[in-house]
A = this chain, B = another copy of it.
Amino acid sequence: MDTTEFRRRGKEMVDLIADYLENIEQRTVYPDVEPGYLRSLIPEEAPEDPDTYEDVVKDIERVIMPGAASPACTELETVMMDWLGKMLKLPEDFIAGTHGQGGGVIQGTASEATLVALLAARCRAVRMILASDPQRPETGITSKLVAYSSDQAHCSVERAGMIAGVRMKKIPTDQSDKYAVQGETLRRMIQEDKAAGLIPFYFCATLGTTPSCAFDHITELGPICNAEKIWMHIDAAYAGSSFICPEFRPLLNGIEFADSFNFNAHKWLLVNFDCSTMWVKKRSDLIGAFKMDPLYLKHDHQESGRYFCTDNSLFRSLKMWFVFRMYGLKGLQDYIRKHVELAKEFESLVRADQRFEISADVVLGLVCFRLKGSNEVNETLLKRINNGRKIHLVPCLLSGQFVLRFALCARTTESRHIREAWRLITQLAEEVMQELPH
């Protein structure tokens, strides 16, 4: 939608809201629908090609209004998570509208999803142990639990461990592994920890790490976790969106071993913040870990166990519904591919300049690069780039080297922006190299 159409549609939407407010007393305060009413009103999958805006807006009255905020909010969330799960070709276990026991739920951020999965895993582990040893005190169990993640994992994984009050160990990676966790390393740590009397219960794998977009080897790691009854959560916060393209979907192979999986649709799938999409293989693992049932939350349909939803007022699934229909699957794939192409274009520019080097494989829309030379010269270059306020780069450390990260993330980025950015970077690099001794 260009800005001309946005002006028109935005103003129509203002009128729609005003009409709703003016006529609100004609509506009932409580919906007259049965749970499950929504699924049959809309297609089972996202459209390949865009729907028209008129059709999308008409469906607000047809599909949403009869179910008001509840249950429409929960149901649309469940169905949109199925749409997206199908775009990602997730195993049926993760799709709610099947015979499986899983489904999707929207969180605010990937950090929240990591924590929610960790808490559910903690609850499952404690229950499993209590089932075989009912006399064992619960605090004695949690004090022995141990969770794992890559040393490249986002800091929120470590924080989740702090919040849940469990031991969290970082699995070492290095340049020879392309900064990805290997099965053998995890297996060794598990054996050592079990020998020391600890209870391994949770592994957070990362697909697309923050520093360098590295991919843990989940096809190796998954079977180890399954055999050891360790909950495997997959955090694909950034990279997850790309899995809707067949050519990137192999990066998700091994998902069948996971207990939960999450990525940020708000990061690279054109859905506005916040919308962090999470799937679990067993809904009851999540529901059971947080269940409370005071009288003021009771309702007639809560025993169905089919629905769960974190979001009863934000109605974040509406954003997904609009975006999926306005772009269609093909439009979303085009968007992902364009960013990856632009990243490859930037990579070529870097590789063509002998003063620079590429620091990690360019798989998606992130290019890790640096000036050949000291960390100091790269830190100075970064400072100079960001002080210019024309482009903004966030650095990382890889094997002790200070690395610049060029990340594609804006909807309107074009090739001319890439070339202009590179022109600026090389110009500043020249200045820095003249000033600083090599």
A385-406 interface (Cβ within 8 A of B) = 386, 389-392, 394-397, 405
Contact A294 to B11, CB < 8 A, known contacts A28-B389, A139-B142, A313-B274: no
The 7 A-B pairs at the shortest CB distance, nearest first, are namely: A10-B14, A139-B143, A28-B389, A155-B292, A273-B313, A165-B165, A3-B18
5 examples of A-B residue contacts, CB within 8 angstroms: A3-B18, A30-B392, A32-B389, A140-B143, A165-B165
> Residues of A with Cβ closer than 8 Å to B?
3, 6-7, 10-11, 13-15, 17-18, 21-22, 24, 28-32, 108, 119, 122, 137, 139-140, 142-143, 154-156, 158-159, 162-166, 210-211, 273-274, 290, 292-297, 313-314, 386, 389-392, 394-397, 405, 412
Give Cα distance in the complex from A314 to B395, angstroms: 24
Query: What is the count of identical protomers in the complex?
Result: 2
- Does the CB pair A296–B6 fall under 8 Å? no
Give Cα distance in the complex from A266 to B140, angstroms: 41
- Residues of chain B within 8 A (CB-CB) of A392 are 29-30
- Residues of chain B within 8 A (CB-CB) of A293 are 155
A168 vs chain B, min Cβ distance (A): 12
- Residues of chain B within 8 A (CB-CB) of A395 are 295-296
A314 vs chain B, min Cβ distance (A): 7
Give Cα distance in the complex from A6 to B15, angstroms: 9
Give Cα distance in the complex from A155 to B396, angstroms: 42
Q: Within the complex, which residue of B22, B30, B163, B389 is in contact with A3, where a contact is CB–CB below 8 Å?
A: B22
- Does the CB pair A292–B32 fall under 8 Å? no
